[in-house]
Structure 1
Amino acid sequence: MFLKKNIPDDMIEDIYYLKKRAGLYKKLLLLSNEVVNSIKADTEERPLHQDVRDLHTKLVLLYDQVQEDANNLLNIYLSLSARKTNDVMKLLTVFSVFFMPLTFIVGIYGMNFKFMPELESPLGYPLTIIAMFVVSVLIFFWFKRKKWL
């Protein structure tokens, strides 16, 4: 992709002010359109008057294009910002989904109940560690199948 990863904030402000100035100039040109069209030219000055009209029309179209391009650049910036936010949220979701079930299992065994049969079993600790590992592996494969990892 040919876009930079990080766009400086001052560049975004410059684009925004360019858009505002182009809009202002376009309004001024549209207001001056009436003046340009109301001028009556003699036969000798008609080519010059037509050149002024053509230049005026060209400037209106040019500032319209500049305003549209600045608007498109601002929309692209907002889209890239939203995409970065979505990537961060996706990463945080993956971490939270991995650690929520493990935290639940640890929370159950950290309550110090008096009657927990698996605490008396010599395999209680290894089975809990294996269960936590199996849950993590299942979550990993589920995310792989969803193509999040």
Structure 2
Amino acid sequence: MDIWERLFTKAEVLYNHHNVSPFIYAQHVVTAIEADDGNIYTGFCFEATAGVFHLCAERAAAFRMFQHSGQTKTKKIITFRDSAPANGNSMPCGDCLDFLLQLNSKNKATRFMMAFKTRETVALSELLPKWRGEDRLDDIQ
């Protein structure tokens, strides 16, 4: 079993789309992240009509990674709904891409699964080539 299969299997068990209440929809998008140390962290989307609490699967998993290990660097991410990614249909939103770069600028090398069957991936740097936070990095890293 390769790393992509391991990531898929870990995230797949979280898929359970349902309404938590008339205002909240959850577990309709799931993700698994391979951290820099090789550990895997998972998350799912939690979407509320009150915009103050809308959490994408990728940010939930990255937060869990940081919360449990203090890590900020990611290597690989797979995100999907009810089936494995195909033809780039499971790309993260711009907020998630931005968050991953804010977490650690080296995450620009993180690979996202585009097509599970062929193992086609894309780097975060390709998805967000001109990151707005780049000029602030010299101050802290």
TM range (shorter): under 0.3
TM-score by length of 2: 0.24
Q: Which has the higher contact order (CA 8 A, sep 6+)?
A: 1
Q: Please say which structure displays the higher CA radius of gyration.
A: 1
